[in-house]
Amino acid sequence: MGLIEEREERTKWFMQDRFGMFIHWGLYAIPGRGEWVHSDEQITQNVYQKYFDEWNPKRYDPVKWAKLAKAAGMKYAVLTTKHHEGFCLFDSAYTEYKSTNTKCGRDLVREFVDAFRAEGLKIGFYYSLLDWHHPDYPAYGDMYHPDRANESYKGKEHHFDNYLTYMHNQVRELMTNYGKIDLLWFDFSYEGHMGEEWKGTKLVQMVRQLQPEIIMNGRLEANGESYGSVMTDEPNIFSGDFACPEMIIPPYGLRTPSGREIPWEACFTLNNNWGYTPNDKHYKNSAQIIKKLVECTSKNGNMIVNISPDAMGEIPKKQVEILEEVGEWMKDNSESIYGCRMSEFEKPEWGRYTQNGNKLYAHIMEESIGAICLPGVKGKIKKARRLSDGYEMLLLTPWVAKEFPDCEFVNYGTPDCFSFTVDPTPDTVIELELNEE
């Protein structure tokens, strides 16, 4: 098989599950000004060290996290095992800059894996290719390093190969010490640091050898601005198995120039930061998350939503509330997400279609006046039921719609030309069973 065929085989579960949890957590939770605070404020390592000395998340309970993810309808979770700051949430043999070497004294990744696996969720690791703590990672003149403008680092000798050995060794640990890992989320490449400059071929081959069924993103050669060769008909070894649009949903889904589907996952924050930022109150509500999950599914994509635990290890209450509300909708309507994909029918004005075989799901996202027109399905519907409760929807052509014979109409009651109030929900789903061809 070629790279594309291998990718299609590996990502079958991924495209089935559709919905995941991203978790950004690290020392940056203590200052609480976002995960890039080290770089944005150009904090020196000596000053940043105080957060390592202080780290002690006494209320970290990954079982609670896992139960929340499951209740929200999420099927997999990805944890930042190491972000750009270089601090490791796992017990690495190659650094002292790790959670087991703090007041905490715990392998936080181990506990995450055990808790989420116990709830039946697939396990994903985020690992930053950047490392602002390692002495052999370029500092002065780098695009992002906190000491990029620090004159004391000018001309300082570093050996990037030493860092690459360190990075490869840590990835080996993550792929070896925690059982089966389902997903590896690298972050990220930029000018002078991409592809073979990470010794990417060797890295990918090692990961594939240790975890043959794992899927990877494409940020060994890409970043959030572009998705790399996964977008082409001839992807390279760095391309990964899926594209990862950040804070955007592709307008039309993703395909190669020849028309082959590209697996993809849109990643989103709940507020405007990935890391814990208590002063950021700009939250997306549950209705937005639900509608965007449906949009991703309707375009053959996944959605992974981020939570940002605080320095004590607790998820902010507002984030919990949002995901619990999403979970209430998913309890009734998850069949319209899991295993579903882009419909063969055009997008309707009132919402979206998702489809799984001969089951077409009409996602009604706005109240109608009178009967609802279902475009493209005239004469093709065997029966229609509201997904949340099995209520029979009426397939009738109201007398006021005789001029539109090509449209199938559905309503909640009679007289069928009137409007009926339904239970308040951001998305009422009607399951349409299509006639067999």
Statement to judge: residues 238 and 270 lie in one domain: yes
- CB atoms inside a 10 Å sphere around CB 29: 25
- Residue 138's CATH number: 3.20.20.80
Containing 183, the helix (H) or strand (E) segment is: strand 183-187
- What is residue 419's predicted lDDT score, i.e. its pLDDT? 75
- What is residue 368's predicted lDDT score, i.e. its pLDDT? 84
Statement to judge: residues 318 and 410 lie in one domain: no
Low-confidence ranges of the chain (pLDDT < 70): 421-424
Name the burial class of residue 429, with classes exposed (0-12), middle (13-18) and buried (19+) by CB atoms within 10 angstroms of its CB: buried
Statement to judge: residues 128 and 19 lie in one domain: yes
- What is residue 99's predicted lDDT score, i.e. its pLDDT? 99
- What's the rounded Cα separation, in Å, for the pair 394 and 380? 15
- What's the rounded Cα separation, in Å, for the pair 93 and 90? 10
- What's the rounded Cα separation, in Å, for the pair 181 and 174? 8
- What's the rounded Cα separation, in Å, for the pair 188 and 162? 19
* Residue 298 contacts residue 360 (beta carbons within 8 Å): no
- Scanning the structure block, which residue is given the tokens 């081959």? 205
Number of domains within the chain: 2
Statement to judge: residues 28 and 58 lie in one domain: yes
Distance linking the first and last C-alpha atoms of the chain: 32
Statement to judge: residues 356 and 424 lie in one domain: yes
* DSSP code of residue 23: E
Tokens of 382: 């065997």
Statement to judge: residues 113 and 175 lie in one domain: yes
Statement to judge: residues 318 and 360 lie in one domain: no
**Reduced 3-state DSSP string for 253-280:** ECECCCCCECCEEEEECCCCCCCCCCCC
Q: Which of 288, 323, 339 is the last residue of a domain?
A: 339
Write phi, then psi, for 197 (nearest 5 degrees).
-70, -15
Amino acid at 218: G
- Cα 142 to Cα 87, 134, 138, distances in angstroms: 19, 14, 6
Q: Which of 339, 361, 382 is the last residue of a domain?
A: 339
- What's the rounded Cα separation, in Å, for the pair 366 and 144? 44
Statement to judge: residues 187 and 212 lie in one domain: yes
Statement to judge: residues 29 and 157 lie in one domain: yes
- What's the rounded Cα separation, in Å, for the pair 237 and 199? 11
Q: SS3 of 429, please? A: strand
* pLDDT tens readout for residues 213-265: 999 999 999 998 999 999 999 999 999 999 999 999 999 999 999 999 999 99
- Best CA proximity match to 270, nearest among 303, 243, 296: 303
* DSSP code of residue 316: P
Statement to judge: residues 194 and 309 lie in one domain: yes
- Scanning the structure block, which residue is given the tokens 């944890």? 79
Statement to judge: residues 202 and 349 lie in one domain: no
What does the chain come to in residues? 437
Statement to judge: residues 36 and 180 lie in one domain: yes
pTM score, whole prediction: 0.97
Q: Which of 319, 339, 359 is the last residue of a domain?
A: 339
- What's the rounded Cα separation, in Å, for the pair 301 and 261? 10
- What is residue 416's predicted lDDT score, i.e. its pLDDT? 74
* Residue 384 contacts residue 410 (beta carbons within 8 Å): yes
- Residue 413's CATH number: 2.60.40.1180
Domain range spanning residue 128? 3-339
